[in-house]
Amino acid sequence: MPAGGGEARADQLATLQGLAHERLTSPETAALLARWVDMSTGLPLDGTSAEGGEDEFARALLRETWRDYTKASQLPNDFVMRLGKTCSLAQQAWVEAKRHDDFLAFLPHLTQIVSLKKEEAAYRGTAGTAYDRLLDIYEPNATEAQLTPLFDELKRRLIPLLHRILSSSVKPDEHLLRQQYAAERQLTFGKMVLAAMGYDFDRGRLDVSAHPFTTSLHPTDVRVTTRVSEEDFTGSLFSCIHEGGHGLYDQGLPKAFYGTPLGEAVSLGIHESQSRLWENLVGLSLAFWEHFYPLLQKTFPDQFSGVPLKTFYGAVNLVKPSFIRVDADEVTYNLHILLRFEIERDIMENRVQPEDLPEIWRDKMKAYLGIVPATDREGVLQDVHWSLGAIGYFPTYTLGNLYSVQFFNCAKEDVPDMPKLIAAGNFTPVKIWLNEHIHRWGRTFTANSLVARVTGKPLSLDPFMAYLEAKYGDLYHL
């Protein structure tokens, strides 16, 4: 779409969203749902289960439609408008505040958003904690009670691993990846990797944007973007792979259920598991580079022709604490989320006030990553989420990382020669396995049921930690 069309498109979208919201929350929808489900709980009126059984899809459709109806009906119109207006102003203020490294300019907006999100939590019922009700918007059924022990354990196990890595005598050469790489060649390479992953360019396309994203209009029209910097080819390539993982999920959703909740992805966490699986477990694996490194050397001969595969592999997997979440490696990434999770939870429970955030941020960075950002731009102001009112969103990134390892372990059990196939450039079994076990089900199962069904176990930190310990133990000779 040409840039000049943005404003009119925003109006069109607002009109469509308004109409869709009106229909979804209409008395007619309520009356139809009430014929089948208890409107206060969403459970079937005949006392049977909302999941499984003979009419699995029908049950899921009722359960998820009731959920969407309930969520959409909880907020009064005037609140939605107030929140929308506040966030739109807050987002503009955030852009400026970040540019000028001026937290105080953003503070009044953040304070307003926090108070509106508390108001929102109150509209959303009385179940669980206020933070639970915000988490549930992004990751259905996720709760503080589930996440707190998970993050506590993460903290207990991840920080010592990081310290062991940092005191290792192995020092990968990070400058290897900081040379000049022509943008066009980067994009050609990224496209080739996307095609190898099974991303269907007849039902998708790749473009360039400042921040990479995936936008899905239908399983037959799923578009991804990447960013490109000539000094850093990994930023572009791994964005391609990451968004490609999101894109494959959306291209794999069931067309027959398009327009219903069952034609949609389960949750943000499950969506992120798909992008992270491809980006980290496939794209950062030695097997992947056994296939692609010779091709990369051909694409950038001046930069890589004399560099052995193992040296390159060590460099792309460099572990180094950094200020910016989106640039973080696999080991430190979740510590960035841990810090945000603790701050959000404490804000919602009034243990922390918005004006204290820069200092709390620095303290937690010091404690978890051992470094302190000199500016708020590289600290509390770095992410857009809170300015959009998205409190409760960050944990879905860590959930995605944990799910991804659990899923991939199962895929490898089902297809034992998976690494060999990947090393030979054959990614089809990975894609097919994900299509089969995750994508084609849409929202038929909740996240917890899907994980239990696919892996035979509930969500756990163990597989993720075992993966990190094995991979980085090897790389850093721990």
From the list 19-27, 271-279, 280-288, 341-349, the region that binds Zn ion by CB under 5 A is 271-279
CB nearer Zn ion, residue 39 or residue 208: 208
Q: Rounded to whole angstroms, what are the CA distances from 73 to 76, 241, 334?
A: 7, 37, 34
Q: Which residue has the CB atom at the shortest distance from Zn ion? A: 275
Nearer to Zn ion, 275 or 332 (CB): 275
CA atoms within 13 A on the CB side of 173: 12
Annotate each residue in 218-257 with x if it binds Zn ion (CB under 5 A) or - if it does not, as one string. Answer: ----------------------------------------
Nearest to 325 by CA among 343, 315, 339, 314: 339
Contact predicate 402/388, CB 8 Å: no
The tokens describing 285, both together, are 């694996």
> Do 343 and 114 touch, CB atoms closer than 8 A?
no
Residues that bind Zn ion (rule: CB under 5 A) add up to a total of 1
27 CB burial (10 A radius; 0-12, 13-18, 19+): exposed
> In the complex, what is the shortest distance from the CB of residue 272 to Zn ion, in angstroms, rounded to a whole number?
5
> 10 Å Cβ neighbour count for 147?
20
Active site residue 243: yes
The distance of Cα 388 from the centroid of its chain, to the nearest Å, equals 16
- Residue 275 within binding range of Zn ion, rule CB under 5 A: yes
Q: Are strands 204-208 and 221-226 parallel, antiparallel or unpaired?
A: parallel
Q: x/- site string to Zn ion, residues 149 to 188, per CB under 5 A?
A: ----------------------------------------
Segment 27-86, which members bind Zn ion (CB under 5 A)?
A: none
Q: Closest distance between Zn ion and the C-beta of residue 6, in Å?
A: 23
> What does the radius of gyration of the chain's CA atoms come to, in whole angstroms?
23
Least spacing, CB of residue 274 vs Zn ion, in Å: 8
Q: Cβ closer to Zn ion: 317 or 401?
A: 401
CB of 176 to Zn ion, least distance (A): 26
Using the rule CB under 5 A, give the single segment among 129-137, 177-185, 273-281, 340-348 that binds Zn ion.
273-281
3-state secondary structure 83-95: HHHHHHHHHHHHH
Helix/strand/coil for 258: coil
Q: Would you say 327 or 469 has its CB closer to Zn ion? A: 327
> Interacting stretch for Zn ion, rule CB under 5 A, among 102-110, 174-182, 256-264, 270-278?
270-278
- Give least dist CB 275 to Zn ion, A: 4
Residues 6+ apart with CB under 8 A from 257: 57, 263, 442
**Nearest-approach distance from CB 329 to Zn ion, in angstroms:** 16
Catalytic residue among 120, 243, 279, 330: 243
Looking at beta carbons only, is 208 or 415 nearer to Zn ion? Answer: 208
Residue closer to Zn ion, measured from CB, 247 or 261:
247
Relative orientation angle of helices 103-123 and 330-348, to the nearest 10 degrees: 70
Which residues are part of the catalytic machinery?
243
Binding site residues, Zn ion, CB under 5 A: 275
